[in-house]
Structure 1
Amino acid sequence: MYFKHEMFTIPSLNRKSKGPSTGAYSMQNRAQEAQFIMDSIAISVPTTVGTPVKQNKIRTSILHLISFSQEQKNAHDMMKIIHSIKVGIALLIVSLLFLLDPLFEKVGENAMWAIMTVVVIFEYYAGATLSKGLNRGMGTILGGGLGCLAAIIAQEVGGLGKELLVGSSVFVFGTAATYIRMVPRIKMRYDYGAMIFIITFNLIAVSGLRADEVMELARQRLSTIGMGFTVCIFTSILIFPLWASDELHYSIASKFETTASSLEGCLEEYFKVDNEKEIQLGASLNACKSVLHSKSKDETLANFARWEPWHGRFGLSHPWEKYLQIGEVLRELATTIFSMQGCIQSVVQSSSNTRQLIKEPCEAVGSILSWTLRDLGESILKMKRCRPKVLISSKLQSVRLELDLATSPGNLGVLGHGDELATPSFVFFLMEAMQKVEILAKEIEELGELADFQNK
């Protein structure tokens, strides 16, 4: 999936442009110049160890993408089995509170709260389990404490004032907690805890009207809930832990390969001869759709990752917010690639002659972008600093000038009715893709500084 890189140097480009009066460059000269820019700009060319670069890079990339997807599917299937076994182990442990007489005599029927806690809070990722467990603990303690306080005060007041006090407290705390749940930042991280607070407060405060032993009941239930929580945390973290932070890290890194393959597929399809043109971008573009639809998953994983303890390469203050920013730019790039696909499928198409005039510089741009994307993805995957943004920007600026020159009126001449709309549209989206890659280079450079990536 990730490859060894070969590096080339950047010779200086010193060429004088000729105006219409001295004659435009011939197609042969244009082809030689486009080949020159391809060979001269320093790019990372992926090669498998011990084998030459294949001519059809697009099919190779798609095959790698399909192979990687299959490997990911197999790995996820195995992790699902591991998670299921861990849940079974946790349920077995808390069931001992019922099965062993010495333990049952101490906790009694409240042992069912430990089992319910395991069923409710044990999640797939360790961070999700910690998040729900801590939220449930905070909501239970806070709601139980305030509920007991309201019940005790109501008992002291007595008479009609008791019902009025409890009813008023239920209304005030329920309204306040529900409003707080709707605050976006609270809803994202503490929504479950706020819900548990409302439930616990109401149950204890209202039951206090007719139960004199509310404090003892609350203590017993809190202790059994704590047992269930402890079993969940230790089982989740100590037995083959599944970290949300690892999933987010590898997910973001793999999106760079996906977008690079999709971009190459669009360029190959656009420059096919008309009688060979078939829209067969299914594998790469379907993978690109997964990038577009990944926002919710990325935000969820980042939220769980913030709850996870230090492990492996990820510390407590790892910049997960920067991962979300990189994912957002990748989705914008994927949108641009889909716009390029729209140019391929549009009724209005540029002529074959016009496409051939811009083919070489466009393919040079596509090569620079795809290899740059793979290099950036590898930088995240291996947590090593990528090439400086200034160097990447200089490469992109060089091919941008080549593309501008190739699409100038002096080189294209008078465009036909279809060409005057279709050709500039495709070139515009390719330019947009270049801008997004420049932004990605900047974001990953900042990520390397914040996360203290190692130098290559």
Structure 2
Amino acid sequence: MGSVVIPIPDGDQGFTHDLKQEKKFRVSLSPVISYVQKNRDTIRKAIHAIKVGITLVLVSLVYFVDTLYKEVGDDNAMWAIMTVVVIFEFHAGATLSKGLSRGIGTVLGGGLGYLAAVLGQQVGGIGNPFVVGVSVFIFGGAATYARLNPNIKKRYDYGVMIFILTFNLVSVSGLREENVIEIARERLVMIVLGFAICICISLFVFPMWASDELHDSMVSKFEGLASSIEGCIEEYFRLVNEKENQSVQPTASFRDCISVLNSKAKDESLVYFAKWEPWHGRFGLSHPWDKYQKIGEVLRELAAIILSLKGSLNSPEEPLQALRESIKEPCEAAGSSLTWTLRELGESIMKMRRCQPGAFMVPKLKLVRQELSQVMCPFKLGKLDNAEGFAVASFVFTLMGVVEKLEDLSKEVEELGELAGFLQG
């Protein structure tokens, strides 16, 4: 009986073939990935515009379907569309915040407006418009005064505005309409319908989380400030003739510092919106977003100190190269430690893990500060008794200020890790 030979493919060859196919697939997708990374903001804006368009189509079904249109009528159906237009924001947290503010303002304004209208109808005659007018004056004036309070204006301005609008519309409608409660009920239903569709589209269709944007922007600030320090140290100790041949201006390395300084308003908005967002991804309901705001404040202070180094680079009287060379080694070592610490802290936040700054980073920063203090000891300061020497001393003292501020930043990041439950690195 003849034997049959069954060929068995070599396992290594099959594995190598799979790796080649995977590598080829990645290469084919690299242009797409590169385009998405470069145009990320544009793509997100386009997605948001599409989501708003879809939502408007859905609420417009009230007009498209005859049975729904006959049930609610033209005057009430428009409130669903108006709700979508005014509350659908880019971030999911902003949409949720604005929608709930509109709902609360509508319910309170509609309820009090209905009571004012009923009270006016009970009085009757000339007393009806008098009661309604007095009610509009009292509640409208009180709500407007409340809007002038900075805390209320910052967080609840939209809800108070909707309260004033709804109260006036409902109470004044009672002068001409008897079925005020029916009108208020139908309009509230349309507002709730528009709000519900907005929330569903915003939360479940490519959601734009303010928390993710806040988290990523915070990480990028650490990298930007680290790059600014690197560029500053490199520029300061560059030879004069080499410096004149460089086409890039020294101020280019400080753009990240200026960006960080101008980020306060955006950070506050993102923190507020993030608090409204439900649990998603890595962030729970009790994530310490206020600590992100505190870290942002320390980063802005650090950026201001780094930006002050610009004066040393653009000084009209260049210190002698020999003086710079005498402090080059300790300053470059300090700069290397500072940039490493900033990147390590940024990576700690990005990966949500503990980097033990209290046990390792803070002592290292204190050692760097001691080394810089030795550079400015009286023995060396005795040789720096002119304008050039003072410029060198100013540069070193500013670096020491950066070290001190970075110590505070390390402690803030450590506290964030404890509050947020970061894993041990």
Fold match (TM-score > 0.5): yes
| Alpha-carbon separation, structure 2, partners of 1:125 and 1:281 | 37
Change (3 A) 1:265 1:71: farther
The match for 2:206 is: 240
| Alpha-carbon separation, structure 1, partners of 2:390 and 2:252 | 28
1:250 to 205, 212, 216: 216
Deviations 1:60-102 (A, max 9, x none): xxxxxxxxx9976521111111111111111111111111112
Equivalence map 1:69-88=2 (5 Å): 73-88=38-53
Contact in 2 for aligned 1:351/1:418 (Cα 8 Å): no
**Deviation of residue 303 (structure 1)?**
0.8
Contact in 2 for aligned 1:357/1:412 (Cα 8 Å): no
1:377 to 316, 340, 346: 346
Amino acid at match of 2:144: T
SS of alignment partner, residue 354 of structure 2: coil
**Deviation of residue 276 (structure 1)?**
2.1
Contact in 1 for aligned 2:173/2:180 (Cα 8 Å): yes
The match for 2:261 is: 292
Aligned pair 1:414/2:383, yes or no? yes
TM-score of the pair, normalised by structure 2: 0.88
Equivalence map 1:17-96=2 (5 Å): 73-96=38-61
The match for 2:303 is: 334
The match for 1:10 is: none
Amino acid at match of 1:82: I
Contact in 1 for aligned 2:323/2:389 (Cα 8 Å): no
| Alpha-carbon separation, structure 2, partners of 1:284 and 1:423 | 20
The match for 1:115 is: 81
| Alpha-carbon separation, structure 1, partners of 2:81 and 2:38 | 31
Contact in 2 for aligned 1:125/1:242 (Cα 8 Å): yes
| Alpha-carbon separation, structure 1, partners of 2:122 and 2:390 | 82
Contact in 2 for aligned 1:150/1:169 (Cα 8 Å): yes
Contact in 2 for aligned 1:389/1:438 (Cα 8 Å): no
SS of alignment partner, residue 315 of structure 1: coil
Deviations 1:195-223 (A, max 9, x none): 10011111111222222122111111111
Deviations 1:80-138 (A, max 9, x none): 11111111111111111111112212222121111111111111110111011111111
Percent of aligned pairs sharing the same letter: 60
| Alpha-carbon separation, structure 2, partners of 1:75 and 1:437 | 31
2:176 to 205, 210, 218: 210
| Alpha-carbon separation, structure 2, partners of 1:206 and 1:164 | 11
SS of alignment partner, residue 286 of structure 2: coil
| Alpha-carbon separation, structure 1, partners of 2:145 and 2:243 | 57
The match for 1:318 is: 287
The match for 1:402 is: 371
SS of alignment partner, residue 277 of structure 1: helix
Contact in 2 for aligned 1:188/1:303 (Cα 8 Å): no
**Deviation of residue 413 (structure 1)?**
4.0
| Alpha-carbon separation, structure 1, partners of 2:69 and 2:41 | 38
**Deviation of residue 157 (structure 1)?**
1.3
Contact in 1 for aligned 2:60/2:81 (Cα 8 Å): yes
| Alpha-carbon separation, structure 1, partners of 2:409 and 2:37 | 25
The match for 2:19 is: none
Q: Name whichever of 81-90 and 420-429 sits farther off.
A: 420-429
Change (3 A) 1:411 1:417: closer
Amino acid at match of 1:397: K
**Deviation of residue 174 (structure 1)?**
1.6
Superposition RMSD on alpha carbons, in Å?
A: 1.8
Would you say how many aligned residue pairs link Structure 1 and Structure 2?
Answer: 389
**Deviation of residue 310 (structure 1)?**
0.9
Aligned pair 1:276/2:245, yes or no? no
Q: Name whichever of 311-320 and 343-352 sits farther off.
A: 343-352
Contact in 2 for aligned 1:288/1:334 (Cα 8 Å): yes
2:118 to 123, 133, 152: 152
The match for 2:22 is: none
Amino acid at match of 1:419: E
Structure with a larger share of its residues in helix? 2
Contact in 1 for aligned 2:147/2:160 (Cα 8 Å): yes
Deviations 1:295-331 (A, max 9, x none): 0100011111111111111111211111001001111
Q: Following superposition, which runs of at least 4 residues in structure 1 exceed 6 angstroms of deviation?
A: none
Change (3 A) 1:367 1:185: same
TM-score of the pair, normalised by structure 1: 0.82
| Alpha-carbon separation, structure 2, partners of 1:352 and 1:90 | 65
The match for 2:109 is: 143
The match for 2:164 is: 198
Contact in 2 for aligned 1:256/1:373 (Cα 8 Å): yes
| Alpha-carbon separation, structure 2, partners of 1:311 and 1:182 | 35
| Alpha-carbon separation, structure 1, partners of 2:50 and 2:160 | 30
Q: Name whichever of 185-194 and 330-339 sits farther off.
A: 185-194
1:177 to 126, 140, 143: 143
Q: Name whichever of 100-109 and 219-228 sits farther off.
A: 100-109
